[in-house]
């Protein structure tokens, strides 16, 4: 029964940290926190924790959340001094009557909880930001510098944002295309049948300072309901937020859809709600209380990392809705 699944291939190292806990009867809650903490601490992952790419001002900010059920969830966003947003979020859940803390006050809350401050900007991320600030086409987000938004399909105001598209040459269907775009969303079920989920990110690279995406928002980047299932998302957070993506996927499972049917329907909702651009990617994973799970993506290049009794593996999603360049 125990299982942990996480977004993107780099998360297999987090799954491997968490697996011994799950395999020895530990809790899904501890497992998802440990999984995210491992990835947060890895300097080579440039979209989560230490090593995460900074905002347009050159400062890193981190977002995360954790959830067991509608009555037990916590979130912390826009942290500038604490490496593990999920651990801050867990303390919000367990030690306050609130769900979400933000910004400088969230950092001060983490201090009061005894969580250590640490430097979030790695030398590599600083160098990448310096390059971007002089040559913004290295990461194709030039229009984000003008505070552009997504253009809704109904023709509402706002130019189309260009999120996350890298210009580097790449193999077709490779994860490389989305390499700055890699929130860890992780879902686990333990030997007692308890579901838990967590999500940790440095958000969109070179984002407008103050921007918070889907990842730390309950129902958007993550949702867990023990009676229906769990889902988490990665990719262009603004697309997920417009449809309450993770909540929607869990509600569809509650109505009887399988995990893959729920994910495909959620991604179809995203496809029909926006004028998608070739650089837009969203990927999701879902887990049902009986252990059935699925992964799906809008575009090729997504991977899901899985750890269970059968071992550790990195897999292609069960469904991909769009070709690479449409």
Give the binding range for ligand ASP (CB under 6 A) out of 14-22, 98-106, 212-220, 258-266. 212-220
Q: Which residues of 209-227 are buried (b: 16+ CB within 10 A; e: fewer)?
A: eebbbbbbbbbbbbbbbbe
Which H or E element spans position 100? Answer: strand 100-102
Residue 201 makes contact with ligand ASP by CB under 6 A: yes
* Catalytic annotation, pick one of 183, 232, 266, 320: 183
* Binding test (CB under 6 A) with ligand ASP, winner from 2, 52, 74, 213: 213
C-beta atoms surrounding 192 within 10 Å: 11
Rounded-to-integer distance, Cα 52 and Cα 124, Å: 9
Q: CA gyration radius for the chain?
A: 18
* Binding test (CB under 6 A) with ligand ASP, winner from 181, 279, 299, 303: 181
Residue 38 appears among annotated catalytic residues? no
**Smallest gap from residue 280 Cβ to ligand ASP (A):** 11
- Residue showing the smallest CB distance to ligand ASP in the complex: 237
**Smallest gap from residue 208 Cβ to ligand ASP (A):** 12
Q: DSSP states of 122-165 as a string?
A: -HHHHHHHHHHHH-TTTEE-GGGGGT----BTT--SSPPP--SE
Residue 15 makes contact with ligand ASP by CB under 6 A: no
Residue 232 makes contact with ligand ASP by CB under 6 A: no
C-beta atoms surrounding 135 within 10 Å: 9
* Binding test (CB under 6 A) with ligand ASP, winner from 214, 251, 261, 308: 214
Rounded-to-integer distance, Cα 159 and Cα 290, Å: 43
Alpha-carbon separation of residue 29 from 69, 145, 321 (angstroms): 11, 38, 31
Query: Helix (H, G, I), strand (E, B), or coil: what is residue 216?
Result: coil
**Smallest gap from residue 192 Cβ to ligand ASP (A):** 30
Residues in the chain: 326
Query: What token pair was written down for 68?
Result: 């067991």
Residue 237 makes contact with ligand ASP by CB under 6 A: yes
Residue 301 makes contact with ligand ASP by CB under 6 A: no
DSSP state of 175: G
Residue 14 makes contact with ligand ASP by CB under 6 A: no
Which CB atom, from 26 or from 122, has the smaller least distance to ligand ASP? 122
Residue 246 makes contact with ligand ASP by CB under 6 A: no
Binding mask 127-146 for ligand ASP (x = CB under 6 A): --------------------
Burial of 318 (0-12, 13-18, 19+ CB in 10 A): middle
Residue 317 makes contact with ligand ASP by CB under 6 A: no
Judge whether 200 and 42 are in contact, CB under 8 Å: no
Residue 40 makes contact with ligand ASP by CB under 6 A: no
**Which residues are registered as beta bridge partners of 3?**
189
Binding mask 49-88 for ligand ASP (x = CB under 6 A): ----------------------------------------
Give the binding range for ligand ASP (CB under 6 A) out of 103-111, 141-149, 180-188, 265-273. 180-188
Q: How far is CA 285 from the centre of its chain?
A: 10
# binding residues, ligand ASP (CB under 6 A): 13
What residue ranges bind ligand ASP (CB under 6 A)?
47, 181-183, 201, 203-204, 213-215, 234-235, 237
Catalytic residues: 183
């Amino acid at each position: 029964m125990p299982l942990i699944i996480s977004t993107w291939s780099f998360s297999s190292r987090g799954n491997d940290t968490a697996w011994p806990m799950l395999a020895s009867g530990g809790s899904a809650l501890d497992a998802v926190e440990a999984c995210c903490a491992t990835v947060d601490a890895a300097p080579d992952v440039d979209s989560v924790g230490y090593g995460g790419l900074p905002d347009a001002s050159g400062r890193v900010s981190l977002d995360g959340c954790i959830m067991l059920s509608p009555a037990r969830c916590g979130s912390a966003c826009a942290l500038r001094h604490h490496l593990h947003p999920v651990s801050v979020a867990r303390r919000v859940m367990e030690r306050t009557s609130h769900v979400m803390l933000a910004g400088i006050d969230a950092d001060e809350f983490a201090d009061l909880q005894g969580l250590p401050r640490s430097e979030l900007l790695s030398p590599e991320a600083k160098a990448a930001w310096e390059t971007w600030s002089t040559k913004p086409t290295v990461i194709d987000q030039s229009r984000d510098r003008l505070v552009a938004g997504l253009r809704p399909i109904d023709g509402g105001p706002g130019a189309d944002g260009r999120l996350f598209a890298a210009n580097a040459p790449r193999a077709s269907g490779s994860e490389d295309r989305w390499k700055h775009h890699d929130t860890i969303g992780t879902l686990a079920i333990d030997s007692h049948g308890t579901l838990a989920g967590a999500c940790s990110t440095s958000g969109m690279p070179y984002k407008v300072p103050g921007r918070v995406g889907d990842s730390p928002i309950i129902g958007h980047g993550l949702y867990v309901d023990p009676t229906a299932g769990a889902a988490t998302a990665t990719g262009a957070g603004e697309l997920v937020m417009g449809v309450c993506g993770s909540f929607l996927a869990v509600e569809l499972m509650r109505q009887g859809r399988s995990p893959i049917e729920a994910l495909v329907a959620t991604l179809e909702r995203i496809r029909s709600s926006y004028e998608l651009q070739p650089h837009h990617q969203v990927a999701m994973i879902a887990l049902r209380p009986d252990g059935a799970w699925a992964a799906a993506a809008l575009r090729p290049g997504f991977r899901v990392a899985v750890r269970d009794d059968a071992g550790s593996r990195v897999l292609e999603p069960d469904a991909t809705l769009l070709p690479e360049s449409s």
